[in-house]
Amino acid sequence: MRTGPDAAAFTEQDVSAFFDQTMATYLNFWDSEGVLHTGIFDGEQDEDYRAAAARTSDLIAREAGIAAGAHVLDVGCGCGNFLFRLAAETAITGAGLDLSVERIKFARARLGELDLPEGSDITFWHGSATAMPFGDGVFSHVVSQDALFLVPDKPRSHREVFRVLRPGGTFAFSDFLQPRPDISARARRHVYDRVRWSSGYSLLDYQVALASAGFDVVLARSLDGQISQTYRVLGKTARSRASETGDPAARDWMLEFARSCGEIQAAIGDGEFGWGIFVARKPALRDSEAR
């Protein structure tokens, strides 16, 4: 992992406090159902964040090969939207795990309101990727969207994902990248410290880390342009919502976020912030081990 001399060492408590405290504000301008990840846009003119975010989920589901009967864990599930989308389209069972108790409460409340198709069954759990409340080899697939970068002890969360996957199971996810070790004070403030992110992997380092945890890496693709468009679109939304709200604290937060969006795009251009999609497999048992 690329720590660098000025990296702050945020704890899991710092991360959970941030996602608990900012939930209402994010619902206000980012997405009212709590979707909170990078979108895949259909060209530079496309400003439909919700459709772009759904495209990312669909790409991960497709690359993971999730089909009816899959038992899926979403790590850092936030408000549960990836599982809701999967369950609505395919009869899956699964679990969502998140460090933010507020987001898990929101996911459980929405689950109670949704009419999921026959055969789908989902539960939500409050907890950490570093100490998962699940048995060994339980899930056929583990997915995650823009969450694992926030884990301070990443080798530990990789070991946990490996443990809860069945042999032959698939780990498919998107995540933020730290492409280089030296990060400017500006990028540290607007990209990293803003969301309590201590440090991350480059695209190459990520593959090495997954292999060290025992995975066979099937896909590692960098898609940096999509984060740039995501923050361009959301910065614009934040600025326009700020002018509509009567709450001065919410207005200041959204204007500060909109300012950060410009800095975030600069950091991507300077190679200080990246985004990638990964697929990795837990090796299947050999015949002699299976017996």
Contact between 97 and ligand SAM (CB under 6 A)?
yes
Least distance to ligand SAM from the beta carbon of 291, Å? 36
98 or 263: whose CB is closer to ligand SAM?
Answer: 98
First to last CA, the chain: 38
9 or 290: whose CB is closer to ligand SAM?
Answer: 9
Q: Which of 25, 93, 130, 245 binds ligand SAM (CB under 6 A)?
A: 130
Residue of closest CB approach to ligand SAM: 78
Q: Which of 63, 98, 160, 263 binds ligand SAM (CB under 6 A)?
A: 98
Q: Which of 72, 122, 151, 177 binds ligand SAM (CB under 6 A)?
A: 151
Q: Which of 52, 99, 242, 258 binds ligand SAM (CB under 6 A)?
A: 99
Contact between 23 and ligand SAM (CB under 6 A)?
no
Least distance to ligand SAM from the beta carbon of 129, Å? 4
Q: Report the alpha-carbon angle 182-183-187, nearest 5.
A: 170
Least distance to ligand SAM from the beta carbon of 37, Å? 3
Interface segment toward ligand SAM; rule CB under 6 A; list 124-132, 183-191, 212-220, 253-261: 124-132
Contact between 238 and ligand SAM (CB under 6 A)?
no
Contact between 227 and ligand SAM (CB under 6 A)?
no
Contact between 15 and ligand SAM (CB under 6 A)?
yes
Q: Which of 39, 76, 169, 200 binds ligand SAM (CB under 6 A)?
A: 76
Contact between 150 and ligand SAM (CB under 6 A)?
yes
Q: How many residues bind ligand SAM (CB under 6 A)?
A: 25
Contact between 172 and ligand SAM (CB under 6 A)?
no
SS (H, E, C) the chain: CECCCCCCCCCHHHHHHHHHHCHHHHHHHCCCCCCCCCCCCCCCCCCCHHHHHHHHHHHHHHHHCCCCCCEEEEECCCCCHHHHHHHHHCCCEEEEEECCHHHHHHHHHHHHHCCCCCCCEEEEEECCCCCCCCCCCCEEEEEEECCHHHCCCHHHHHHHHHHHEEEEEEEEEEEEECCCCCCCHHHHHHHHHHHCCCCECCHHHHHHHHHHCCCEEEEEEECHHHHHHHHHHHHHHHHHHHHHCCCHHHHHHHHHHHHHHHHHHHHHHCCCCEEEEEEEECCCCCHHHHC
Nearest to 210 by CA among 278, 133, 128, 150: 278
Which residues contact ligand SAM by CB under 6 A?
12, 15-16, 19, 35-37, 75-78, 81, 97-100, 103, 128-130, 145-147, 150-151
